[in-house]
């Protein structure tokens, strides 16, 4: 195509506002063999139940091959929704019928569609600050504005939320990750969860609860989901962390009017989720493989979290602060006065990667923090990577 034609081409205002994901860009560099990457939110391949998946795939292909390789219903495989409804009731006390569930191509598709059905371009929503970078990308792609609310070690600060609601009184929804939050690793306390629901109910605001890490609890008590406390909450789940991200399968549990709107939106996006993935996931849940696999994943990740924290204590300057999550996949590291954006270029030279804290704020206004993933790297690389970051902190001391 000629340069003249490219110069005349015009794109939408929304596409002009889109920015590439900091994490997706990182993965290109992370594939180099000598790089130690704490950047991507990657499950450890050792957590994948390869033998079970092979057995399930062969059995399902023999039993349901023609259905498995065909288009499926937009809302997903009915038997999978039945199995999820039963499991959510037993494990999380979430009382929703199969008709309250829709399957999605990972939680990322759900986040994009929820932004579409709840908010018009230019309208605003409330999120935690920091929040999941994928949510920022999904909402920005719809022209939705995000208002961040400060967190502490107990989750979103409710006094800060009330202050934001005085200035922004009509958000289209409040989005939170209560369990082992991405990126901070923080768990919202039960008291904060109750207060959040009270605030939302007082003002008639929908709450979106994203729970990709809830099953990965290493320590501490089980805290009820927001959905189990208020059935009007819209709940997002995924198989990416408890089966495999490669099957690209998530789900939304919500009131019927929300699921109906998502069904219509999904018809425009991709018609239906992969039937192959749905049949595998249904057997994985119903046959009990999921309940057997999750404790193995927890044991693996707990050990890696402990090793990374121990390495922080051994190799980081004493003024570097970090979270100590009870589960999940991430640690949040902060040094007052640091600029992790500027440090990143040197980190690449030292062949160690992280995600800059500014990527997790819609306005990019935190340069003192970084997110580290502890689940993917080998134990040797965890120690060596933290050593490299420790030297980098020393080099860039205030």
Please give the pLDDT value at position 16. 78
Please give the pLDDT value at position 298. 98
Strand partners, 251: 103, 237
Please give the pLDDT value at position 379. 98
What are the b/e assignments for 158-178, b being 16+ CB within 10 Å? beebeebbeeeeebbbbbbbb
Report the Cα 247 to chain-centroid distance in Å: 16
Q: How far apart are CA 347 and CA 43, in angstroms?
A: 22
pTM of the model: 0.95
* Token duo for residue 324: 């100590």
Please give the pLDDT value at position 28. 64
H or E segment to which residue 267 belongs: helix 256-269
Q: What is the pLDDT along the chain (398 residues), one digit of tens a residue?
A: 555 666 678 888 877 777 766 565 566 666 677 899 999 899 999 999 999 999 999 999 999 999 999 999 999 999 999 999 999 999 999 999 999 999 999 999 999 999 999 999 999 999 999 999 999 999 999 999 999 999 999 999 999 999 999 999 999 999 999 999 999 999 999 999 999 999 999 999 999 999 999 999 999 999 999 999 999 999 999 999 999 999 999 999 999 999 999 999 999 999 999 999 999 999 999 999 999 999 999 999 999 999 999 999 999 999 999 999 999 999 999 999 999 999 999 999 999 999 999 999 988 888 999 999 999 999 999 999 999 999 999 988 65
Given a contact cutoff of 8 angstroms between Cβ atoms, the answer to whether 371 and 330 are in contact is: yes
**C-alpha triplet 97, 107, 134: angle, nearest 5°:** 150
**C-alpha triplet 49, 53, 55: angle, nearest 5°:** 120
Q: 11-49+292-395 maps to which CATH number?
A: 3.90.1150.10
* Token duo for residue 221: 């008590």
Task: Write down the domain spans for the chain.
Answer: 11-49+292-395, 64-289
Q: How far apart are CA 308 and CA 352, in angstroms?
A: 14
Please give the pLDDT value at position 48. 98
Which of 3.40.50.150, 3.30.1490.20, 3.40.640.10, 3.30.413.10 is the CATH number of 64-289? 3.40.640.10
Please give the pLDDT value at position 23. 62
Please give the pLDDT value at position 2. 57
% the chain with pLDDT above 90? 88
The pLDDT tens digits of the residues spanning 106-141 come to 999 999 999 999 999 999 999 999 999 999 999 999
């Amino acid at each position: 195509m000629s340069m003249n034609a490219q110069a005349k081409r015009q794109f939408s205002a929304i596409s002009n506002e889109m920015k590439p994901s900091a994490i997706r860009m990182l993965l290109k560099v992370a594939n180099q063999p000598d790089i130690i990457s704490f950047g991507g939110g990657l499950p450890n391949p050792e957590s994948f139940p390869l033998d079970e998946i092979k057995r399930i795939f062969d059995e399902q292909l023999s039993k349901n091959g023609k259905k498995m390789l065909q288009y499926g219903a937009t809302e997903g495989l009915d038997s999978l929704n039945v199995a999820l409804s039963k499991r959510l009731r037993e494990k999380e006390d979430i009382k929703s019928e199969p008709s309250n569930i829709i399957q999605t191509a990972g939680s990322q598709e759900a986040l994009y569609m929820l932004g579409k059905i709840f908010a018009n371009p230019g309208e605003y929503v409330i999120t935690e600050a920091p929040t999941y970078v994928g949510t920022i990308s999904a909402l920005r792609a719809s022209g939705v504005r995000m208002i961040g609310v400060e967190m502490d070690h107990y989750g979103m600060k409710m006094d800060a939320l009330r202050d934001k609601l005085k200035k922004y009184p009509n958000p289209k929804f409040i989005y939170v990750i209560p369990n082992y939050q991405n990126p901070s690793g923080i768990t919202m306390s039960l008291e904060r969860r109750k207060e959040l629901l009270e605030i939302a109910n007082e003002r008639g605001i929908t709450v979106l609860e994203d729970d990709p890490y809830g099953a990965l609890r290493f320590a501490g008590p089980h805290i009820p989901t927001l959905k189990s406390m208020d059935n009007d909450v819209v709940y997002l789940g995924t198989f990416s962390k408890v089966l495999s991200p490669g099957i690209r399968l998530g789900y939304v549990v919500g009131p019927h009017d929300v699921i109906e709107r998502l069904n219509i939106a999904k018809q425009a996006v991709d018609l239906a989720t992969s039937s192959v993935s749905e049949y595998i996931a249904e057997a994985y849940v119903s046959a009990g493989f999921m309940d057997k696999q999750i404790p193995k994943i927890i044991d693996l990740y707990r050990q890696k979290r402990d090793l990374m924290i121990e390495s922080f204590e051994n190799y980081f300057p004493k003024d570097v602060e970090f979270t100590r999550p009870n589960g999940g996949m991430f640690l949040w590291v902060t040094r007052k006065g640091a600029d992790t954006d500027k440090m990143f270029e040197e980190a690449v030279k030292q062949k160690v990667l992280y995600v800059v804290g500014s990527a997790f704020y819609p306005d990019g206004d935190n340069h003192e923090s970084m997110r580290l993933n502890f689940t993917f790297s080998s134990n040797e690389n965890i120690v060596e990577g933290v050593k490299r970051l420790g030297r980098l902190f020393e080099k860039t001391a205030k």
